[in-house]
Structure 1
Amino acid sequence: MIEIKNVTKDFPGNNKAIDSLNLTIPDGKIVGFLGPNGAGKSTTIKMMTGILPLDSGSITLNGFDIEKNALEAKRIFGYVPDQPDMFLRLKGIEYLNFIGDIFEVPKEIRAERIETLTKQFNIYDALDDYIQTFSHGMRQKIIVTGVLIHDPDIWILDEPLTGLDPKSSYMLKEMMRDHAAKGNTVFFSSHGLEVVEQLCDEVAIINKGRLIFYGNIDELRDEYHTDQSLEKVFLELTDDA
């Protein structure tokens, strides 16, 4: 479970990037995080993962405060950033073993997971190449593989499907469904509203740093008295952005 309580974030010379945000993401759900560009999605995710400090409020992951219990919290989530351009001077296999070492994944289990995941994502034969030689899609796949190696309870994914080919995108969505079905939490941002509508149990919509809706698609339609698609409702809700 992810609990965000009264979280605020200011940046110099700007209005509140996040303004008194309250959001609880339960176990066993896939939750899509939506908002126009600049709404505060990536800022929220970076605070959830400890990359950015909170100005006020608190964020807990399975009961661990991301600021007060940072190491404990970071052991139980996996994070895919919106830009996969990191550790470019490492070979693919070096990066995955580095992640495995950090999370103390036993070598036999690690080797099995690396082989299985990289073959599924069709990057197994590139593991001895440097990440800087990878295409954007391959970099995305290696980052996702690194997240899955230690099998974290909570997945926090910032635009995880960007750059993936259709087969890899399909596999990742199936992995997300399986992970949630086991009672775990999947929280991801996306601009792909059709994907969110098909995949997610619930959606959280943010605009100008404020949460304007949280619930399932049927609840969204009931609240706004419409039978339109998520895309059309979303555009109406955020048309001042």
Structure 2
Amino acid sequence: MKVGLFIPCYVDQFYPQVGIATLQLLEKFGCTVGFPLNQTCCGQPMANSGFEHLSHDCDALFVRNFAEYDYVVGPSGSCILHLKDHLHDEKQPEQAAALRGKVFELCEFLVDVLKVESLDAHFPHRVGFHQSCHGQRGLGLSQMSELMAEPFSKPAQLLKLVKGLELIPLSRTDECCGFGGTFSVMEEAVSVKMGKDRLADHVQHGAEYIAGADVSCLMHLEGILRRNNSGVKVVHIAEILNSTGKV
């Protein structure tokens, strides 16, 4: 299985350990992983801000970089959702269309494609999982609480395979953290208040770590935690699934 590793720009610049953990995790499950060195932003920030026409070159570069792979995997639900829904290339429309069906967020790839049922991972801590909106409502990583349907969570399914990890219950399992990309810039006060509310749910239930599948949301929450001198830490799920001890 030939997998192209897509690492979003903010992960590359601010949380490179998440990219490394993703690579190591995929290799542990026998994937042959390639990393195109000239990959750049997927174009989501421009598209979400009403400037999708400025992301066309990002699309074309993504197609050139990843068209040869069986699958493309990235540790970011929001970026992956953008690619699944919006990737296009006027010069290579067929390759772009095929790629949209081969792009996977890390958790859905591990659960749906690799069918992971066991992990050699150890993380002896109380962990609260923050389910980001794009992953839940766009990618279907977990059930939305307002639906009268059987609950499920692909990230929780994986975390329950980790030795020593206690996945704590939350009062509001799918509440937004308030990041929302440019929303956190344009509506800073509302964004921070939403972040504080989201953190309070984890803290009240005794979380030592807040895990997530989107570093963008975790970065927002981490900033609030640091400003309040909290001892609670954030960690990407790839780091936990790849861990043999303390992150």
**TM score, norm. by length of structure 1:** 0.31
Structure 1 or 2: larger helix share? 2
> Which structure shows the higher strand fraction?
1
Given the two structures, how large is their TM-score scaled by the length of structure 2?
Answer: 0.31
The structure with higher relative contact order (CA 8 Å, sep 6+) is 1
